[in-house]
Amino acid sequence: MTPTVPDWVKDAVFYQVFPDRFATSARLEKPGNLEPWGSPPTVHGYKGGDLLGVAERLDHVQALGANALYLNPVFASTANHRYHTHDYHRVDPLLGGDAALEELLDAAHARGMRVILDGVFNHASRGFLQFNDVLENGEKSPYLDWFHVKRLPLNAYGGGPLGYEAWWGLPALPKLNVANPQVREFLLDVGERWLRFGADGWRLDVPSEIDDDEFWREFRRRCVAAKPDAYIVGEIWELAERWLQGDMFHGVMNYPFARAVYGLVGRDVDQAEAAKSGLGTIEPLEPAAFAARLDDLLKVYPGETAFGQLNLLGSHDTPRLATVLRGDDVAVRQALLLLFASPGAPCVYYGDEIGLRGGHDPGNRGTVPWADRAAWDEDLLAFVSALGGLRRELEPLRRGTAEVFAVAGAVVIRRESAAGVVCAAVNATDHAVDLRGRALPATAFVDRLDPRAAPGEGSFTLPYRSYAVLTPA
């Protein structure tokens, strides 16, 4: 089967939103026991962000050049991250309920933007009705075989050995028995339902833990039947050929790409924070090794598959971009340029565009300081917006073929289509590099990131620790 990707994904720039921490709307009344907005993030505390707040801040998202949202879970839950799902058929009332999601979807679609939801189908929560029934009724529960029950009592809140399988052994996350036809149908119906409601796709949480290819094939068939251009992207931390044969996912969260980028541009990587996450230890890469690594990724994900990858530098599961690179402004910008210049859909984690810091969970889930613009890195914000604008303007950056190579210490990503050639170059060394040949457009060219630069032709000197986007003049 030949893999295909929804056409809109090839032009997408994603912006990931953690709903409790992005923005809060005065239109939505909240309970009183919320942590102050701007206070350090905690494991269990809520800040009160909601989906109406997201809808009211779409100007900010769109100004970055982003035209797609990836929302962390929005369904009813008793966790601020909402990966502990209580009700798959109801948006959390703290986020504004179903009406708020509908408003956000309508507002995004009116701007030509797409929205994908986070699907947590491997496990539910202790508050999930069917699991709660087992807690209450034990061996008499009609839902006993919805879970992997090993013994009774379940001891879900302590008191003895855990009586059921749970994600990573965490009692709050009972694993669903997807081999049960009723459970399968329940989850497939959820997948269809929210696409019909208006969502544009699913990001799938830990899908490899549902080790059942036929389930994922049926999930794709049902989702595409509900919405033919739905995008399905899985959270797979390593190479993912198994799931990208054209019958399961369109793409995966491309963490190998993030590791390679950090390995190239990072001079003082915060290895301790990176190692707390799935990023692991970041291997330093010389330019030639980086070019080879990206070339290998493009061979693993050839043709259309490359355009379906969700490329990223950080997420709710990793330390933030500025934290990994210890605030190295040049390295941050080089990393972002590589993100926007590579094949696949770039995804910016909320707040990274203004330089938010934060280590591993919960530190990486802070609030956006909307009322304190002095806390924003305005230069970085302008840089990300410029990259988004170039991606929108230059078709080769979105749909062109890609050639990655090292030139005397610099890395060049050459993107080419019928619309022209774009060469994105990064010099992470301490010496200037002269670019020639295929590292440059064949005609006179200009650096689109430096409006003061005069057009060049035939050669281009890339100063030490710098970057450029070269297009025909």
- Cα separation, 273 vs 268, in Å, equals 12
Distance CA 178, CA 80 (A): 26
Residue 271: partners with Cβ closer than 8 Å, 6 or more residues away: 281, 282
Cβ-contact 471, 421 below 8 angstroms:
yes
What angle, 0 to 180 degrees and rounded to 10, lies between the N-to-C axes of helices 287-300 and 255-265?
Answer: 170
The backbone torsions φ and ψ at residue 417, rounded to the nearest 5 degrees and listed phi first, read -150, -175
CA distances from 124 to 31, 146, 321, 380 (A): 25, 11, 30, 39
Place of tokens 């002095």: 374
Q: Cα dist. 127→84, 319, 431 in Å? A: 8, 29, 59
For residue 401, how far is the Cα from the chain centroid?
Answer: 23
Q: Which of 50, 56, 92, 235 is catalytic?
A: 235
Residue 239, judged by CB atoms within 10 A of its CB (0-12, 13-18, 19+), counts as: middle
Query: Which candidate in 205, 218, 270, 447 is catalytic?
Result: 205
- Whether the link from the prior residue into 153 is cis, omega within 30° of 0, is yes
Helices (H), 160-286: 181-197, 213-226, 255-265, 271-275
Q: 188: Cβ–Cβ under 8 A, 6 or more apart, which residues? A: 218, 219, 222
Could you tell me how far CA 317 lies from the centroid of its own chain?
10
Q: How far is CA 147 from the centre of its chain?
A: 29
Helix, strand and coil percent figures for the chain, each rounded to 5: 35, 20, 45
Rounded to whole angstroms, how far apart are CA atoms 314 and 99? Answer: 30
Q: 176 forms bridges with which residues in the sheet?
A: 147
Question: Any catalytic annotation for residue 136?
Answer: no
d(CA 446, CA 436): 14
Q: Which of 259, 286, 254 is nearest to 426 (CA)?
A: 286
Number of CB atoms found within 10 A of residue 405's CB = 18
Positions marked catalytic: 205, 235
